[in-house]
Structure 1
Amino acid sequence: MVHTSNSLRGMVTSPHHLASQAGLDVLKDGGTAIEAIIATASTLSAVYPHMTGLGGDAFWLIAFPDGRTLAIDACGKLAQAATNDFYEQAGHKTIPWRGGFAANTVAGAVSSWEAALRESSKIQTPLPLERLLRDATHYAENGRVVTSSEAGLLREKKHELSDNNAFRQALLSDTIPLVEGDIRKNPALAQTLRHLATHGLRSFYEGPLARMIAADLAAAGSPVRLSDLLNHQATTGLPLETETSWGRLYNTAPPTQGVASLLILSLFDRLGLNRENVDSYEHIHGIVEATKQAFRYRNTEVDGRPTSEANARALLSDPTSLTDMADRISMNHAYPWNEKTQWGDTTWMGAIDSSGLSVSMIQSLYFEFGSGVMLPESGLLWQNRGSSFRLTSGGWNALTPGAKPFHTLNPAAARLNDGRLMVYGTMGGEGQPQTQATIFSRHIHYGTPLQEAISRPRWLLGRIWGHGSTSLKIEPGFDPAVISALRTAGHEIEELPALSMLMGHAGAIIRHENGRLEGATDPRSDGAVAGW
């Protein structure tokens, strides 16, 4: 039997049970949902290093009890030295996915914690930073148990990751990868966390720690310099939003693909489907075809250019344009699909406290283990988000020093017409908007219990790790008649194993008007819901 977790005083969900527990303990100590997420995110950085870390980026949605919703953008910019000439002189025609040349943007995650704490301090006196980073420091210093997903990815990717000496020493054990159940420590990361607790989160970007980070990056061949770190700041602002028949939906603005996530649900809403028969042909086909329309827009319009955000806001607030897009969807035929794919692994986490303050947050290194560049003095794994830039002088996501790269990261939230508030999200690059739409439509449109909405078999359109085709990937367990109808409509179906990690690690928490909290985590992850 699949059960959704329920509680009243607070709840945290994440893809690792120790991180969820770290966040809940902060709530029990009187912290806000924002502080709980910082404890959760930092702990994930210590116990789930293949998916996230301080060397990555982060985005937040904070839904306040008074109806306000705030977004935090902590996307690191491309280094000033990362020019086309920089890569061409090194013999690169494209930006590598691994190594120092891939570690070409500032890591923004820690700055997002700082920006979020400023918001939390407006609500109540903050807990000491040392308390928020306590569990992360403990696991970094005393050891974590290696998960099956980390061990499996190390085996699969070791040939890509063995060039960095610090990475090899920390995780490959002289070319012999870790196995599930091994215990591994990162004392340098523990020291970094202690430094941040003592000197403040801004010390990641200026001062002795920042100089040490910059020196290690330079030694690894990265173009990121101390001046790039000094110039970094997270920004706060309004999220993207759109009105639907279910309520108001929120996501993050470009350079993230948040607009695609909102478009899928907005277009699906306009198809006027009944609220029966979850995972029917109409349900799956409708979401998939809405995904195609949303991704066509995303793949040409969403990046770090200033006009990208304004255009996304205009589209989401224009019912005529949205209806025109929905009208392009045929409920009988699949639109041909061979679009480019956006990769990415990440961690989504959510928290709601007793006041109703709600957080949807996502933090990532981009690829598993990021660039594979581990900084020996700080114990940080650095992201490779800037590998998505194109070596060209203009156009979509063109390499431009100081620009933000296109981001797959996008945390979601919704204020529903019946008074419920929902925070939800997932890892998975191309799959993030699709899985968000699947979970939301199953639970909100069709009434499937929340945990079941996440645990049930899923689908994903497009290329994924290890699969070069643009087919519709489907886990086993769907009605064979539905699969047959999808094939008849023109969908190329490819079956994946049950509970495939390729389908992402999703989670959600909902707060009801009476204060009841219900949460769910993904059986494809190592996660848990922690509530009290």
Structure 2
Amino acid sequence: MRSPTATARQGMITTPHHLATAAGQRVLAAGGNAIEAAIAAGAVLTVVYPHMNSIGGDAFFGIDDGKGYVSGLDGAGSAGAACSIDKYRALGFDAIPKRGPPSATTVAGMVSVWGEAFEQSRQWGGTFSWADLLAPAIALAEDGFALNAGQPSSLHAHWDILSKTQRFVDTFAPEGVIPLPGSHFKQIALANTLHQLAQDGAESFYRGALGQRIGNGLHAEGSLLDAADLAAFRCKRVDLLQVPYRDGQVVNLPPPTVGMTALMVLAILDRFDLTGLDPQSARFVHLQVEAAKLAHQLRDQYLNDPDFNPVPTAKLLDSAFIDRLAASIDPDRAAPFTNGPTPGDTVWFGVMDAEHRAVSAIQSICWEYGSGVMAGDTGILWHNRGHGFSMDPQHVNALAPGKRPSHTLNAPLFLKDGKTRIVFGTMGGEAQPQISTAVLTRALDLGMPLDEALDAPRWVIGRAWGDQSPTSLKLERRFSQQTYDELAAMGHEMEWFPGDYSDFVGHAGIIVLCDDANMQGCADPRSDGAALGVDS
């Protein structure tokens, strides 16, 4: 079931859907840069993977300019001005609903990230217009495409929860009939909105006629958001966090993302020699699981919007502190584990261009089909990331107007000698740090070919997303019974995922700059994706 590894010299892209990969490759082949390819691919993903992401969701980019400067774009949408704990309690809620209009609590930051990234691409000498980059997505929304199996499957699994508004049903299951895999699927209202966005620019999503329509449409559906909330939002350009790993550095996004947690897992593992370990052995899994437990428990304690409550990232990533965490791991025994609810689902994709500029990108509507609410007649499906806020005013992640919720999203890069050598990442809800770590360690520490590193069976401790057990260690069934039993003997609470390949262990991807010329890329066989390269 392995996905083929692509090799090229002039550019590489990997995404979880082949149509998005093709759109990005066309940009690279025409001389476009990594950001331009990322915007084109990201826009297509919002059309062809609507159960995973939408322009009504959030996004984060980790960007390397190829000259030693890395930065991030934080598109975590903030809670609306009317979205307070008192307001939700007055409406009769003791928790923010997971679906429906009241779950549409935060602004969507994705388009703002695209707009800011587009301006940076112009500074790089980019020649594609904004409209050019949205054109492939518009065509697919307008003319349609053949559905993959994931979208109908997600609809069947969540139909009773999602089919509460007529516009949602009309968009994704016309006449109330869930389409079959392979069906030709069009989104005319979304195509019209994308046309307007292409004509008026990214700013129009927030501070133009389009933003007014979106805000009014959400409010009419029963969301507490309105057009003024969109007008007040702008994504943030942020400095990336970093930790040493092996002979390089891993960089990732700061809070409110879980990038801090992902870095902690790798920093802890940097204290252990993984070379020579069997990638399907109990010891290999145990060390990674124990590192993840430590990092996730600290995430639950601290992760929130640092504009409201400072997050001690310097302390948490300090070398001496990481030393103490690593020393606390028993190589033969599982530590107790509790895991707080930090929901999420998403798409990750990566790009590297001919000048070795790189983008690690992630986009999300949180859970499958997000809130299930359409923004009026725009064809935009809105996310439900805000339902992860706490209604306890003393909680670090307590709901407050203008506050960004803690995010499961992260967008890592591995650098060596000041240059990105590996672009990697994954979807997978709150298990993303575990999944991306498994991929990186197999490729970097164990030297596995990229297709093997992505294909190899994976695990999740706690939830990936949804309502899974928050404490058990779950394995794909291609692990041996011996490994399962050895982990159980170490004290892990064990479960099998159903099937040999599970979406719950992520749709990952990876690009490696093998030397100063050749690139390799691969997509996860669990996805509908592909990696494609460009050679002149």
Q: How does the TM-score come out when normalised to structure 2?
A: 0.96
In the alignment, structure 1 residue 450 sits paired with structure 2 residue 450: yes
Question: What residue in structure 1 maps to residue 236 of structure 2?
Answer: 235
Question: What residue in structure 2 maps to residue 261 of structure 1?
Answer: 262
Whether the aligned pair in 2 keeps the contact of 1:248 and 1:414 (CA below 8 Å) is yes
Cα separation, 1, equivalents of 2:401 and 2:67 = 39
Question: What residue in structure 1 maps to residue 352 of structure 2?
Answer: 352
1:241-320 equivalent positions in 2, closer than 5 A: 241-306=242-307, 311-316=312-317, 318-320=318-320
- After superposing the two structures, state which structure 1 stretch, 406-415 or 338-347, moved more: 338-347
Cα separation, 1, equivalents of 2:469 and 2:274 = 32
Question: What residue in structure 2 maps to residue 388 of structure 1?
Answer: 388
AA partner of residue 326 (structure 2): A
Question: What residue in structure 2 maps to residue 423 of structure 1?
Answer: 423
Question: What residue in structure 2 maps to residue 331 of structure 1?
Answer: 331
Per-residue deviation at 1:394? 2.8
- Give secondary structure in 1 for the equivalent of 2:429: coil
| Change in 2 beyond 3 A, CA 1:68/1:84 | same
Per-residue deviation at 1:29? 1.9
Cα separation, 1, equivalents of 2:330 and 2:168 = 49
AA partner of residue 241 (structure 1): Q
Question: What residue in structure 2 maps to residue 180 of structure 1?
Answer: 181
Cα separation, 2, equivalents of 1:436 and 1:235 = 24
Per-residue deviation at 1:495? 1.0
Whether the aligned pair in 2 keeps the contact of 1:16 and 1:527 (CA below 8 Å) is yes
- Give secondary structure in 2 for the equivalent of 1:430: helix
Q: Share of identical aligned residues, percent?
A: 37
- Give secondary structure in 2 for the equivalent of 1:386: helix
AA partner of residue 286 (structure 1): L
Per-residue deviation at 1:184? 1.7
Q: Quick one: which of 503, 509, 512 aligns to 1:507?
A: 509
Cα separation, 2, equivalents of 1:246 and 1:437 = 16
Per-residue deviation at 1:86? 1.8
| Change in 2 beyond 3 A, CA 1:448/1:417 | farther
Per-residue deviation at 1:481? 2.9
- After superposing the two structures, state which structure 1 stretch, 86-95 or 255-264, moved more: 86-95
**Alignment gaps of 5+ in structure 2:** none
Question: What residue in structure 2 maps to residue 110 of structure 1?
Answer: 111
Question: What residue in structure 2 maps to residue 10 of structure 1?
Answer: 11
AA partner of residue 141 (structure 1): E
**Aligned residues between the structures:** 531
Cα separation, 2, equivalents of 1:221 and 1:418 = 49
| Change in 2 beyond 3 A, CA 1:420/1:361 | closer
Q: Quick one: which of 516, 519, 523 aligns to 1:517?
A: 519
1:4-403 equivalent positions in 2, closer than 5 A: 4-306=5-307, 311-316=312-317, 318-403=318-403
Whether the aligned pair in 1 keeps the contact of 2:66 and 2:419 (CA below 8 Å) is no
Per-residue deviation at 1:420? 6.1
AA partner of residue 244 (structure 2): E
| Change in 2 beyond 3 A, CA 1:419/1:275 | farther
AA partner of residue 493 (structure 2): E
- Give secondary structure in 1 for the equivalent of 2:525: coil
Cα separation, 1, equivalents of 2:310 and 2:128 = 35
Whether the aligned pair in 2 keeps the contact of 1:345 and 1:368 (CA below 8 Å) is yes
Whether the aligned pair in 1 keeps the contact of 2:431 and 2:463 (CA below 8 Å) is no
Whether the aligned pair in 2 keeps the contact of 1:54 and 1:109 (CA below 8 Å) is yes
Whether the aligned pair in 2 keeps the contact of 1:254 and 1:309 (CA below 8 Å) is no
- Give secondary structure in 2 for the equivalent of 1:425: strand
Per-residue deviation at 1:378? 1.2
Q: How does the TM-score come out when normalised to structure 1?
A: 0.97
Per-residue deviation at 1:226? 1.4
Per-residue deviation at 1:418? 11
Whether the aligned pair in 2 keeps the contact of 1:170 and 1:186 (CA below 8 Å) is yes
- Give secondary structure in 2 for the equivalent of 1:467: coil
The alignment yields a C-alpha RMSD, in angstroms, of 1.6
AA partner of residue 526 (structure 2): R
Cα separation, 2, equivalents of 1:261 and 1:309 = 19
Cα separation, 2, equivalents of 1:261 and 1:143 = 37
- Give secondary structure in 2 for the equivalent of 1:410: coil
Whether the aligned pair in 2 keeps the contact of 1:343 and 1:428 (CA below 8 Å) is no
Cα separation, 2, equivalents of 1:261 and 1:271 = 16
Whether the aligned pair in 2 keeps the contact of 1:420 and 1:513 (CA below 8 Å) is no
Whether the aligned pair in 1 keeps the contact of 2:214 and 2:376 (CA below 8 Å) is no
